Amino acid sequence: MFIRRTGLFFFLILLVGSLSPAALVGASNVPVGSLPIGTQIEVQLTTTLSSSANKVGDPFLAQVENPIFLQGEEVIQAGSTLRGHVTFVKRPGRLHGRGEMRVVADSILTKDQKTLYQFKAGLISFGIASETGVKQKGNEGTLEGPGKSVKQGAKDTGIATAAGAGMGAIVAGGQGALYGAGIGALAMAVGLLARHHKDVVVNAGTDLTFQLTTLGTESKPSKLGGYSAPFVCPTCQ
């Protein structure tokens, strides 16, 4: 009995040892050659995005910063190209609200342009490469434009209104001083409030991290190879 159990034990060891890594991946419900859900991709944006110039559906490109390994093998090299698109844009209101934008990643073309991985991935973190004041809002990957708090905005607007009233009175003079003061105060306040709430601007060079929400399936790219020319924001500052 002991000999039989020992023989069975060694047989199982040999059987497990003979399984390839691909088979082990298949056993965990991840198809061979696919990127698992939850895979994180760190990239650097190569096109500028802005809520003032982009619309839903606009594409963007980014460069993969760190290689991705699957079963111990490098499948996506640093320098590979990620492609995504804009899914949501909200312009800031003139007197209230901030600009918002949401983006997702769709695919990666490997650096050697031999393999295309297609998937859906959401933005989980990003770093600002310049002082644009944009920040991430909530856990859906929404980017929010800069703006002052309501309290600070009201304080600044009060100061600006007083200054505008004085300027309006000086310009109007005489009997029209009161009317001129009102016009000057309103113009100054509206202008300042409009500056409090700005568009989202994410400059090229910004670091982004996406996380796969679907499997990344492997395929061969089209005969044309690569991606079409990237979208370039013509009005972003």
Is the pLDDT at 56 greater than 70, yes or no?
yes
Pairing of strands 49-50, 217-219: unpaired
Let me know if residue 10 belongs to a domain. Answer: no
Q: What percent of the chain has pLDDT over 70?
A: 57
Nearest to 117 by CA among 75, 65, 67: 75
Q: Can you say how many angstroms the Cα of residue 132 is from the centroid of all Cα atoms in its chain?
A: 14
Pair of tokens at residue 84: 């995504």
Let me know if residue 173 belongs to a domain. Answer: yes
First to last CA, the chain: 80
Please give the Cα distance from 18 to 135 (Å, whole number).
50
Q: Residue 189 in contact with residue 161, Cβ under 8 Å?
A: yes
The per-residue pLDDT for range 15-47, each reduced to its tens digit, is 444 433 332 333 356 788 899 999 999 999 999
Greatest mean pLDDT range, 7-21, 54-68, 155-169: 54-68
Q: How many domains does the chain have?
A: 2
Answer yes or no: do 213 and 174 share one domain.
no
Answer yes or no: do 138 and 155 share one domain.
no
Please give the Cα distance from 237 to 233 (Å, whole number).
9
Answer yes or no: do 187 and 207 share one domain.
no
Residue 178: which domain range?
A: 150-196
**So what's the pLDDT on residue 47?**
92
Answer yes or no: do 55 and 93 share one domain.
yes
Nearest to 88 by CA among 166, 41, 143: 143
Please give the Cα distance from 38 to 120 (Å, whole number).
11
Answer yes or no: do 74 and 86 share one domain.
yes
Nearest to 64 by CA among 111, 25, 21: 111
